[in-house]
Amino acid sequence: MKILSVINEKGGVGKTFVTTQLGYFCRYKLGNRVLVVDLDQQNNTGEILSQSGLCSLNPASSGQILRDGESISTDSEFLVVPGDDTLLELESLNEEARVAMNLNNALETVADNFDLCIIDCPPSADVRQLAALSVSTNYLIPFQAKAESISGVDKTMTRASIISQEINTELELVGLLLSMVKMQGIQKENFEQIMKSTGNLLLKKFDPRTKEEKDFCFIPERSEFTAAQQFHRPVFFSEGGKPRKEAAELARVWISLVHKLGLPIHKPLRIGQNPETKKLFEIKGENE
Ligand SMILES: Nc1ncnc2c1ncn2[C@@H]1O[C@H](COP(=O)(O)OP(=O)(O)O)[C@@H](O)[C@H]1O
Ligand SMILES: [Mg+2]
């Protein structure tokens, strides 16, 4: 099981967007078994995924796992562990090692049940972030082309490099991922600056046909993406079944990420929609 921390000390940079949409993509387009852990007490990720109808909810919250050593269910192949206020108690326990060990034990127990675990990290440099980086195989830093967001990247990279030297030598950066990109005005200027300072750390774009990596990935800002999050659905799902151009654009980012992680690629799974409630569901047993 690959364990990917989606991390940045700044809020509002697209961590939840990346976590949820990458989760749907890996589950439904690539047929992977996907576990998502929300370490943010706001539980945006837990809420979005469980409301979508496509993902089951773990009985124990992430806070209960980290604090009390609760476990992760193996009953579902697409599961989210929700965040809650228990997470806020962890800092005052002063037991960083035990908290990280609890997360490690819970994930180790289900390592054969999932192909990928995505950890949505809180926008704070605390014991949760330390625990996430201590147990991860990889990390991804989504960020915006804004000065504050860039300073968040520096801090996160510094912490991660300390952890990879002292605690988790397996930990590897998959890349920095520019998100919510608007190619105009001040952002354009920042963008050019970023290319100079972080160019070689940006997540590279992978072309599955030529098997070549070139340029770099970024996620543009699209009203379609905000809407997909608001209505708890994958960007690639459309009621009429007609593929959207925005979905193809985003798929290229996820394919590059999946390539970098070395994840398996299976058959896609089908999604159904209840015509009355509009709720989505996984069509079991008759895969494409
Ligand atoms: N590429 C994008 N285009 C448009 N809206 C986006 C995009 N990425 C995220 N959003 C929206 O921006 C807001 C903040 O993003 P979110 O993923 O919640 O950030 P974080 O988890 O880092 O705080 C959310 O309302 C989300 O739906
Ligand atoms: Mg979030």
Q: How far apart are CA 128 and CA 147, in angstroms?
A: 25
Comparison of pLDDT for 191 and 38, the residue scoring more: 38
Residue 199 CB–ligand 1 contact under 6 Å: no
The pLDDT, as a whole number, for residue 157 is: 92
Distance CA 268, CA 195 (A): 35
- Tell me how far apart the alpha carbons of residues 235 and 219 are, in angstroms, rounded to a whole number: 13
Residues listed for the chain: 288
Domains of the chain, first to last: 2-283 (3.40.50.300)
Half-sphere exposure at residue 150, Cβ-oriented, CA atoms within 13 angstroms: 16
Q: Which two tokens stand for residue 33?
A: 């078994």
Q: How confident is the model at residue 286 (pLDDT cuts 50, 70, 90)?
A: low
What is residue 223's predicted lDDT score, i.e. its pLDDT? Answer: 93
**Mind listing the pLDDT tens digit for each residue in 214-228?**
888 999 999 999 999
pTM: 0.95
Q: Calculate the alpha carbon distances from 208 to 21, 35, 57, 218, 244 in Å.
A: 20, 25, 33, 17, 20
CA of 12 to the centre of ligand 2 (A): 7
Lowest mean pLDDT among 18-22, 61-65, 148-152: 148-152
Answer yes or no: is the C-beta of 143 below 6 A from any ligand 1 atom. Answer: no
Confidence of residue 185 (pLDDT cuts 50, 70, 90): low
Place of tokens 């209960």: 64
Choose among 1, 53, 61, 60: nearest CA to 26: 1
**Proportion of the chain above pLDDT 90, given as a percent:** 78
Using the atom order of ligand 1, give the atom closest to the CA of residue 18. 17
Pocket of ligand 1 contains residue 181 by CB under 6 Å: no
Residue pLDDT, tens place only, 141-170? 999 887 777 778 888 999 999 999 999 999
Predicted pLDDT of residue 110: 98
Q: Which atom of ligand 1 sits closest to the CA of residue 17?
A: 17
Gap between the Cα atoms of 278 and 276, Å rounded:
6
Query: So what's the pLDDT on residue 196?
Result: 73
Question: 231 in ligand 1 pocket by Cβ < 6 Å?
Answer: no
Q: Which atom of ligand 1 is nearest to the CA of 11?
A: 23
The structure tokens 């994840």 sit at: 263
Would you state the pLDDT for residue 186?
A: 61
Of all protein residues, the one whose alpha carbon is nearest to atom 11 of ligand 1 is: 226
Q: Tell me the longest C-alpha to C-alpha distance in the chain.
A: 54
**Which pLDDT value is given to residue 173?**
96
> How far does the centroid of ligand 1 lie from the alpha carbon of residue 69, in Å?
31
Q: Looking at residues 175-188, what average pLDDT do you find?
A: 80
Read off the pLDDT of each residue in 31-44 and give the average, rounded to a whole number. 98
* Atom 14 in ligand 1: residue holding the nearest Cα: 12
- Tell me the average pLDDT across 177-192: 76
Query: Would you say the CB of residue 42 lies under 6 angstroms from ligand 1?
Result: no
- What is the rounded average pLDDT of the residues 9-37? 96
Q: Which ligand has the shortest distance to the CA of 39?
A: 2
* pLDDT tens digit sequence for 108-139: 999 999 999 999 999 989 999 999 999 999 99
- How sure is the predictor about 288, in pLDDT bands with cuts at 50, 70 and 90? very low
Ligand nearest to the Cα of 17, by number: 1
199-211 pLDDT per residue, tens: 689 999 999 899 9
Q: Parallel, antiparallel, or unpaired for β 204-207 and 212-216?
A: antiparallel
Which one of 17, 49, 146, 156 would you pick to mutate in the ligand 1 pocket, going by the greatest count of ligand atoms within 8 A of its CB?
A: 17
C-alpha span between 91 and 57 (Å, rounded): 25
pLDDT tens digits for 65-88?
999 999 999 999 999 999 999 999
Q: DSSP of 99-165, one letter per residue?
A: HHHHHHHHHHHTTTT-SEEEEE--SS-SHHHHHHHHH-SEEEEEE-SSHHHHHHHHHHHHHHHHHHH
Q: What is the pLDDT of residue 287?
A: 46
Torsion over CA of 257, 59, 13 and 27, rounded to 10 degrees?
30
